[in-house]
Chains A and B, each alone.
Chain A
Amino acid sequence: MSQLIALRIRMEVLEWSGAWWFLLTLVVQAVLGPLIGMFIWSAVYPADSYVATYYVALLLVTVMTESFEQHTFSEKIYDGTISHELLRPQPVVINTIGTNLAIRIWMAAMGIPVALLAGFAFGVSLTWTAVLSAVPAFVLGATLTFCWTFLLSLTAFWTERVHSIVGFGWTLNTLLGGTIAPLAFLPGPLRDIGQVLPFYGMLGLPADVAAGRVHGLAPVLTGLAYQAGWLTVIITCAVLLWRAGIRRYTVVGA
């Protein structure tokens, strides 16, 4: 299975290399939220170095974990081309994962210079130890983001407004995931809700660890456990939704 995914990634990376201009537009759209957040909170707390450090880390996490399954997967349901993949002797999700990782590789290549530039402009210095300790939270966060977007994209079996549904998910993620404000800056009740929901684990937690905000092993392990818990829930829901959706799916033509 990992070999199939690797092959798919290679194919998709080569395929996407011809669409660098489009990828650049995706990067610009991805960095905008963290950049605006950085400007807003830097105006509120001009002397607090945490704001810029957090947002540069968040910018990196955002560009490297963007997911577009509403385009790369749902559109196949709408135009019926998912039928071709259903006939192949491999799980359909392999191609979706391969495409997702290929796009992320390109976005990381284009987004890292933007993050470095923003870091330089705001005088940010991320420490290697903090960045390395954020890797496990980042990997789980990236997987969580993919699974969440994929779960929402599965609603394409029932409605043609999948883009609106994923847009709603994105709004929740922006509000409670740490883009509009770091979780620590949210008012009490919202912060409590944010801590329970999966969105902080997708963006804010890896960014907070990379920014050196999370001290000690215990809070990092708690964060990882909470990410793993949500991952289990979302994967279970996705499997159930896929089974129900595929039973409902019908296509005309050969």
Chain B
Amino acid sequence: MKLLRLFAAGFTRSAQATLTFRINLLFDIVLSIIGVGASLATVFIVYARTDSLAGWTEAETYVLIGTFQLLSSLKNAFIDPNLSWFPENGIRNGKLDTFLLQPAPTLYLASLARSTPLSLIQFVLGLAVITLGITKQGRPPAPGAILAWILTLIAALAVTWAMGVLLACLAFWAPRLQLDVFYGSAWELARYPTDIYRRPLRLVLTYLFPLTLIATIPTSTLLNGPRVLVLGPAVSGAILSCSLAVGCWRLGLRRYTGATS
């Protein structure tokens, strides 16, 4: 409860700071709309040439892009402002020392305390794109499918956070290793159905670096209804990855000796 209050206070402060700069706000809104427009244009261009992309129809791909947009906005709003450039800012420049001295869990302060509320514009646009896809498909999802979709989205968000923390943890052992940019680049692979990628890469994206969970699995759940064989591994995978992230963070902290005096 205390953490939630802390989170809400931090978010409110960030929102106030963002709204102060109106022109910047306008720029970011316009750029977000252009970004979503470019994604939709890609789908339009592809489906002008084919009826099916690796088994996905145009309407299904719109839902997939919308779902990807939702998760990207949450990642950009709550995870990236904290964990990007962590090896440099947190470890090498010693910002972690400040977190260790504060009366809140260090993992929370390092991975979730700051936010960029403006990124949530993409969330609204993502919902609009999903609505467009579902309308185009002409078959509204059942309430059970919507609930299962929300569950897979939460699992995907948890895995996203856990992967970010795990990559940040590497900095405790190798402070110069800056892998989050690669993570950000690899993240873009989830924008399209993972079925388009060839077999070795598809297996990597499904099991080793589970980007399939980001958009493909939630979208399939929303469109085709919940399946225990998908929901079970998604939820257990999320729990496992979060536990692994917390464990690694504790191990790393034990090793950390501080960069400032």
Bits for A3-31, please: 1 = Cβ < 8 Å to B, else 0. Answer: 00000000000000000011001001100
A140 located at the interface, meaning its Cβ lies under 8 Å from any Cβ of chain B in the complex = no
A187 touching B45, Cβ below 8 Å: yes
A161 located at the interface, meaning its Cβ lies under 8 Å from any Cβ of chain B in the complex = yes
Q: A39-B197, A161-B24, A171-B38 are in contact. Are A21 and B185 (CB under 8 A)?
A: no
Looking at B47-55, B104-112, B164-172, B235-243, the stretch in contact with chain A turns out to be: B47-55
B97 located at the interface, meaning its Cβ lies under 8 Å from any Cβ of chain A in the complex = no
A164 touching B176, Cβ below 8 Å: no
- A159 to chain B minimum Cβ distance, whole angstroms, is 8
Once bound together, how far apart are the Cα atoms of A164 and B189, in whole Å?
22
A44 located at the interface, meaning its Cβ lies under 8 Å from any Cβ of chain B in the complex = yes
A181 located at the interface, meaning its Cβ lies under 8 Å from any Cβ of chain B in the complex = yes
- A96 to chain B minimum Cβ distance, whole angstroms, is 24
Contact of A185 among B38, B49, B189 (CB under 8 A): B49
Once bound together, how far apart are the Cα atoms of A22 and B179, in whole Å?
10
A36 touching B188, Cβ below 8 Å: yes
Nearest B residue (CB) for A22: B178
A221 located at the interface, meaning its Cβ lies under 8 Å from any Cβ of chain B in the complex = no
B53 touching A44, Cβ below 8 Å: yes
Contacts of A174 in B (CB 8 A): 38
Contacts of B192 in A (CB 8 A): 36, 39-40
Main secondary structure of the interface of A (DSSP, over half): helix
Question: Which residues of B (152-202) have their CB < 8 Å from a CB of A?
Answer: 176, 178, 181-182, 185, 188-189, 191-192, 195-198
Contacts of B176 in A (CB 8 A): 21
Sort chain B's interface into a size bin. 20 to 34
B34 located at the interface, meaning its Cβ lies under 8 Å from any Cβ of chain A in the complex = yes
B140 located at the interface, meaning its Cβ lies under 8 Å from any Cβ of chain A in the complex = no
B178 touching A164, Cβ below 8 Å: no
- A65 to chain B minimum Cβ distance, whole angstroms, is 18
Contact of A164 among B27, B45, B195 (CB under 8 A): B27
Number of interface residues of A (CB under 8 A): 28
A220 located at the interface, meaning its Cβ lies under 8 Å from any Cβ of chain B in the complex = no
Contacts of A43 in B (CB 8 A): 53-54, 195-196
Contact of B182 among A25, A39, A171 (CB under 8 A): A25
Contacts of B46 in A (CB 8 A): 40, 44, 181
B45 touching A168, Cβ below 8 Å: no
Contacts of B35 in A (CB 8 A): 171
Contacts of B53 in A (CB 8 A): 40, 43-44
Q: A164-B31, A168-B31 are in contact. Are A28 and B185 (CB under 8 A)?
A: yes
27 A-B Cβ contacts within 8 A? A21-B178, A25-B181, A25-B185, A28-B181, A29-B185, A32-B185, A36-B188, A36-B189, A36-B192, A39-B198, A40-B46, A43-B54, A159-B23, A168-B31, A168-B34, A171-B34, A171-B35, A171-B38, A175-B38, A175-B41, A175-B42, A181-B42, A181-B45, A181-B46, A185-B45, A186-B45, A187-B45
A interface, CB within 8 angstroms of B: 21-22, 25, 28-29, 32, 36, 39-40, 42-44, 121, 159-161, 164, 167-168, 171, 174-175, 180-181, 185-187, 190
